[in-house]
Amino acid sequence: MADLFLTHDKAKELLKHIASQGIEVFGPVKKDGSHLIEKIKDQSEIDFSYFITANSIKEALFPRYEKILSYKISQEGIEVEDVSIDKSVVIFGGHPCDAASIPLMEKIFGWDYKDKFFLERREKAVILTLACEEADKDCFCTSLGYSPRGEIGSDILLERVSDQGWKLKLLSEKGKEFAKKYETYFQSTLEVDKKYPKLSDKDIPVQFDAKIVKSWIDTHFEDPLWEKIASNCWSCAACTYVCPTCHCFDITDDATMWSGMRTKNWDACTLPYFTLHASQHNPREQHFQRYRQRINHKYSIYVNLFNAISCTGCGRCSRACGAKVNILEAVKMIASAAGGK
Amino acid sequence: MENLQKKAKELLSNKEVDLIIGYTSISEQETKPVFIKEADEASKLVFNAFCFNNLATYLTRKDVKAVKKIGIVAKGCDIRAIVNLIVENQIPREKVYILGMSCPGVKDPKNPSEINSKCRVCKVQNPHLADVIIGEKVAESNKMDQKVHHSDVEEFNKKTREEKWQFWTEQFSKCIRCYACRQACPMCYCNRCIVDLNTPQWIDTRSNPKGGLAWNLVRAYHLSGRCIDCGECERVCPVNIPLMLLNRTLQEEVQRSFDFEAGYDLEASAPLTVFEKDDQENFIR
């Protein structure tokens, strides 16, 4: 197949066209000074001049809140109405650290209970990822075996070749179909600027050995280091909500006397009442116990269940933290406590 | 900085305090909160124009509350929060040792080449309540530019009611309900926040326009007459909601109605928590 290129202008047109076909399009939007991946409502909001979006692409498949059923109560009984996932999704503009989270999320949502909301949306989603051209001190994907030009989880990888646009790498059948369906938006040539690619794996040095981290966590549940790692954590959920792999949710009802709707809302292990029991006992009463859970889940519990670390090294949690708790620093502290690198 | 480290070391060595909450440096233009228990760690402390965090928010954290005597590095604006915590009976005055920092102003977290606009109207660059004051006295002349700090409120008030409503519903629909605003806020210390009460669920917890509006308005009302203008909620908001525009609007209302600003006076209570015979509203009489 011949080379395919996509320019910024054509990309905007393409996303607008796809949205007009009743497909949900998530893309990079500049809002109040920061870039977010959001459902595109207006083509003019789209902006490609970012290093990394503040949130991850997970919102497209696992929304902040969603209706899972609605019900009506009458003299005849209770009438329950299910929700069907009928819209397809196109996700444009995440990075390889976003896309790499999708196979990880599939594991948890397809585990003992099959979460149709995530899985059906995933099934219908096409994921177009932008290879990274920039990294900052919070990036550490290579320490977890990923790459700024990684292909995991994407249907199409777009590699920047000039300030005007990208070259496409079709990675799956879905990606190939997508390229064919919208072929008029792509072009077979584009002038290549030698300054690209600007970033490769070696620009993001490997900083720790994840195996050593796991073995330390498994044997040091009670350790003063946890208090030190999370001393400044004030227990909000900013880290978990911007994280591409954090997946916890809460279920609430929005109801009147005779009808209501049940919703699935994001929830977070870092919030103080996440583990509060009906008895009022809280097994994770302190901030560092909650932060320990976050690290433990990603670097050990998840590994035991699925043989994969539930972190892609995107560094969003560190950037979002107002108290400056830094996951890379935390994991490095653990690695050095374990005597490793 | 040496004076700060020296004093901290002395306090910890003499067991005058059991813990010092301060700032340590991450990079040239970044600091983070640090918890120091050992005298030989006092050398980690720094103070500069990038010390944004209002450390008073930690004073009501469970483990910190359990400490017998707490040392805290605080700018004048942070001390306003400590005053409020004392006034609201959250911490006894004698439990906290305030290392008050003379502060000519911090940078704007979103634009580090500029000074933070709140610092332009700061009345407490020289700390108003402290056990020791560290740093050179700041001259009183370089401030009182009320217009700059409050221009956004003024500008906003020119909008029609409908425009204001549209602005805030849009802003609040961005809210992801992470509660970073609440956790960063020194005045948000409720043992159980109303949004966490779920039998019944009083406040919609969903991250949708309705839930976002409910949460942010409830928080703003609870802060009216109590907010000390540190701006931490806005700084830490991952989706950049201009929360201080809302807080300052209410602050100005309180000032106009009650001639009151929070956090300056250990003897004064928040107007909305007390009843005075000469209150202008007479519905209660």
**Cβ neighbours of B112 in A, within 8 Å:** none
> Are A265 and B236 inside 8 Å of each other by CB?
no
A195 touches chain B (CB under 8 A): no
Mutation to test the A interface, candidates B207, B232, B235, B237, most A Cβ within 10 Å: B207
**List of chain A residues with pLDDT < 70:** 1, 340-341
Q: Which pTM does this prediction carry?
A: 0.94
Tally of domains within chain A: 1
> Are A272 and B196 inside 8 Å of each other by CB?
yes
**Cβ neighbours of A234 in B, within 8 Å:** 57-58, 61, 183-184
State pLDDT tens for residues A54-76.
Answer: 999 999 999 999 999 999 999 99
Query: Residue A42 sits in which domain range?
Result: 5-337
**Cβ neighbours of A265 in B, within 8 Å:** 177, 205-207
Of B32, B180, B232, nearest to A324 by CB-CB distance is: B32
**Cβ neighbours of A34 in B, within 8 Å:** 239-240
**List of chain B residues with pLDDT < 50:** none
Prediction ipTM score: 0.93
> Are B180 and A252 inside 8 Å of each other by CB?
no
A34 touches chain B (CB under 8 A): yes
Q: Which residue in chain B is spatially nearest to A263 when comparing CA positions?
A: B206
**Cβ neighbours of B197 in A, within 8 Å:** none
Q: Check residue B280 and give its pLDDT.
A: 74
Q: Check residue B147 and give its pLDDT.
A: 59
Q: Check residue B1 and give its pLDDT.
A: 72
Measured between CA atoms, how close is A232 to chain B, in angstroms?
A: 6
**Cβ neighbours of A320 in B, within 8 Å:** 180, 238
> Are B63 and A254 inside 8 Å of each other by CB?
no
Q: Check residue B167 and give its pLDDT.
A: 96
Alpha carbon distance A220, A295 (integer Å): 12
> Are B240 and A320 inside 8 Å of each other by CB?
no
Q: Which residue in chain B is spatially nearest to A137 when comparing CA positions?
A: B27
Measured between CA atoms, how close is A128 to chain B, in angstroms?
A: 23
Alpha carbon distance B234, B226 (integer Å): 16
Measured between CA atoms, how close is B107 to chain A, in angstroms?
A: 15
Q: Which residue in chain B is spatially nearest to A326 when comparing CA positions?
A: B32
Of B33, B205, B232, nearest to A252 by CB-CB distance is: B205
Alpha carbon distance A206, A145 (integer Å): 9
Q: Check residue B120 and give its pLDDT.
A: 85
Alpha carbon distance B187, B177 (integer Å): 18
Q: How, if at all, do strands B96-101 and B132-134 pair?
A: parallel
> Are A36 and B211 inside 8 Å of each other by CB?
no
Torsion of Cα atoms, A225 then A231 then A237 then A238, to 10°:
-110
Of B205, B211, B238, nearest to A238 by CB-CB distance is: B238
Mutation to test the B interface, candidates A36, A226, A241, A242, most B Cβ within 10 Å: A241
Of A54, A287, A322, nearest to B61 by CB-CB distance is: A287
A64 touches chain B (CB under 8 A): yes
Asked whether B216 and B233 are in contact (CB, 8 A), the reply is no
Alpha carbon distance A86, B102 (integer Å): 60
Of B180, B192, B240, nearest to A236 by CB-CB distance is: B180
State pLDDT tens for residues A153-197.
Answer: 999 999 999 999 999 999 999 999 999 999 999 999 999 999 999
